[in-house]
Amino acid sequence: MSFVYDKLLGGKSGAIGLLVLSVIILIVFPMLLDGFRLNLVGKYLTYAFAAISLVLLWGYGGTLSLGQGIFFGLGGYGMAMFLKLEASSPENTAIQSTPGIPDFMDWNQITALPWFWEPFSSFGFTLLAILVLPALFAYFIGVAMFKRRVGGVYFAIITQVIAVILTVLIVGQQGYTGGINGITDLRTLNGWDITSDSAKYLFYYINCGLLIGVILLSRFILTSKFGRLLLAIRDKEDRVRFSGYDVANFKIFIFCFAAFVSALGGAMFTLQVGFMSPSFVGIVPSIEMVIFAAVGGRMSLIGVVYGTLLINFGKTTFSESFPELWLFLMGGTFIAVVMFFPNGLAGLWSQYSPDIIKKIRSTFGMANPELPLSSPGLKETNS
């Protein structure tokens, strides 16, 4: 029991923070929002997976990846390929010159299903691919870079270039990938209509459940000796190395885990939104994931979920009514967070929340216990 409490929930403040978040996403949002808006929130929450991956990799590990979109995309495309194949049964595609292959292939004069699409007709393989392939890809990148001590800005730039390569490849090879439009018209999952309201509700709850699961798993990592080693590597890499650790292995592992988490988000994105396209893979989405993490607080697993929601609500609101203002606001947010609020929302909360809570308590005539009321869960403690 104490294992669950200390290691997964992160002690009292961590448990309260997670409880508050769970109540908000599992109860408050479904009560307040209509189906359309809830689906939108669900979409935002899939980005939160990528933001959480950056807390581990960047906030704790000190390694900034500008290519988390790669893994989000791999997860999303994996799921989309399965759903597309199901939607492209010979009966559904009878009017095509080659029935039984995805419509965009037919439009591009492709007459047989490419070999790398074949295995994605199996749901089991697809799930396995989503869970393993992105992490495997990260493993190869990680071994190549970290074993040769490539880090810092070099790593950031190389991951960005890989994101560019992947995007250009997807857009350029539209016969195999659906091109710039992506993979669209996804309807059923093993015969079950995923566009129905009930399916959307179910996906929303599965998404929330996975998100909470990922937070718990990340907590476990951060509260272990591994978590303290991550911080140690961030601060004094050489000292860790000369204390007998093979530093590269730790970076490779956390990079793979971050890839796995992002890919999970990508797969859930496809299920909830019903399509996947290169605009969720390249430079811009990847760096947006970084801003979600930066705004929420790069050291806080829970903070980044709020950061992701806030930025995306802002984006939706502004790009509907003042599209011109949005980029100014976004650019300004980048600069402001970096210069004035390096710990983001979580940092602000841990700074001001004791006063706010005290005020609330005295307003309602409650006694102020002399507790360290810092940060219910927004700030992850190091220990």
Partner 1 sequence: MGGYSYGELGAIFAMQGFSGISLFSVLLLMALGLAIIFGQMGVINMAHGEFMAVGAYTTYLMSSLTESFFPAFLPYYFILSIALAFIVAGAMGYLAEYVLIRHLYSRPLDTLLATWGLSLIMQQSFRSIFGAREVSPTLPEWLLGAYPATDMIDIPINGLFVLGLTIVVTLGVFYLMFKSSWGLRVRATTQNRVMSGAVGINTKKIDRFTFALGCGIAGIAGAAFTTIASTGPTTGTLYIVDTFMVVVFGGAASLFGTIASAFSIAQAQSILEFFISGSMAKVFTLLVLVLILMFKPEGLFASKVRR
Partner 2 sequence: MPSMTNTDFSLSIEDLTVSFDGFKAVDNLNLYIDKNELHVVIGPNGAGKTTVLDLICGKTKSTSGSIKFLNQELTTLSEHEIVRRGVGRKFQTPSIYENLSVFENLEVSYPEGRGVFGSLFFKRSEKVISKINEIAKLIMLDGEMETEAALLSHGQKQWLEIGMLLIQDPQLLMLDEPVAGMSVKEREQTAELLNSISKGRSVLVIEHDMEFVERIAHKVTVLHQGKILAAGKMDEVQKDPKVIEVYLGH
Residue 5 as a binder of partner 2 (CB under 8 A): the answer is no
What is the spatial distance between Cα 75 and Cα 237, in angstroms, rounded to a whole number?
31
DSSP at 26 = I
What is the spatial distance between Cα 81 and Cα 358, in angstroms, rounded to a whole number?
53
What is the spatial distance between Cα 99 and Cα 111, in angstroms, rounded to a whole number?
9
Residue 37 as a binder of partner 2 (CB under 8 A): the answer is no
**Pick from 259, 265, 296, 291: nearest CA to 280:** 265
Nearer of residues 193 and 246 to partner 2, judged by Cβ: 246
What is the spatial distance between Cα 81 and Cα 129, in angstroms, rounded to a whole number?
11
* Given 140, 205, 242, 322, the residue binding partner 2 (CB under 8 A): 242
Nearer of residues 253 and 269 to partner 2, judged by Cβ: 253
* Given 15, 26, 231, 348, the residue binding partner 2 (CB under 8 A): 231
Which of these ranges, 14-22, 71-79, 153-161, 243-251, lies near partner 2 under the rule CB under 8 A? 243-251
Nearer of residues 6 and 103 to partner 2, judged by Cβ: 6
Residues 343-382 that bind partner 2 (CB under 8 A): 382
Residue 253 as a binder of partner 2 (CB under 8 A): the answer is yes
Where is 38: in which H helix or E strand? helix 35-54
Site track 199-228 with partner 2 (rule: CB under 8 A), x = hit: ---------------------xx--xxx-x
Residues 225 and 27 sit within 8 Å (Cβ to Cβ) = no
Binding partner of residue 229 among partner 2, partner 1, none, CB cut-off 5 to 8 Å per kind: partner 2
Q: How far is the CB of 19 from partner 2 (least distance, A)?
A: 25
Binding partner of residue 311 among partner 2, partner 1, none, CB cut-off 5 to 8 Å per kind: none
Residues 291 and 311 sit within 8 Å (Cβ to Cβ) = yes
Residues 267 and 288 sit within 8 Å (Cβ to Cβ) = no
Binding partner of residue 324 among partner 2, partner 1, none, CB cut-off 5 to 8 Å per kind: partner 1
Q: How far is the CB of 343 from partner 1 (least distance, A)?
A: 12
Binding site for partner 1 (CB under 8 A): 58, 64, 144-145, 148-150, 152-154, 156-158, 160-162, 164-165, 168-169, 171-172, 283, 287, 290-291, 294, 324, 327-328, 330-335, 337-339, 342
What is the spatial distance between Cα 106 and Cα 108, in angstroms, rounded to a whole number?
5
* Given 80, 130, 156, 247, the residue binding partner 2 (CB under 8 A): 247
Residues 81 and 183 sit within 8 Å (Cβ to Cβ) = yes
In a 3-state reduction of DSSP, which class is residue 276? strand
Nearer of residues 49 and 250 to partner 2, judged by Cβ: 250
What is the spatial distance between Cα 286 and Cα 159, in angstroms, rounded to a whole number?
10
For residue 36 the two structure tokens come to 């359309």
**Pick from 41, 288, 65, 270: nearest CA to 296:** 288
What is the spatial distance between Cα 70 and Cα 83, in angstroms, rounded to a whole number?
20
Binding partner of residue 352 among partner 2, partner 1, none, CB cut-off 5 to 8 Å per kind: none
Distance of CA 356 to the CA centre of its chain: 31
Binding partner of residue 64 among partner 2, partner 1, none, CB cut-off 5 to 8 Å per kind: partner 1
Contact positions vs partner 2 (CB under 8 A): 220-221, 224-226, 228-229, 231-232, 235-236, 238-247, 249-250, 253, 382-383
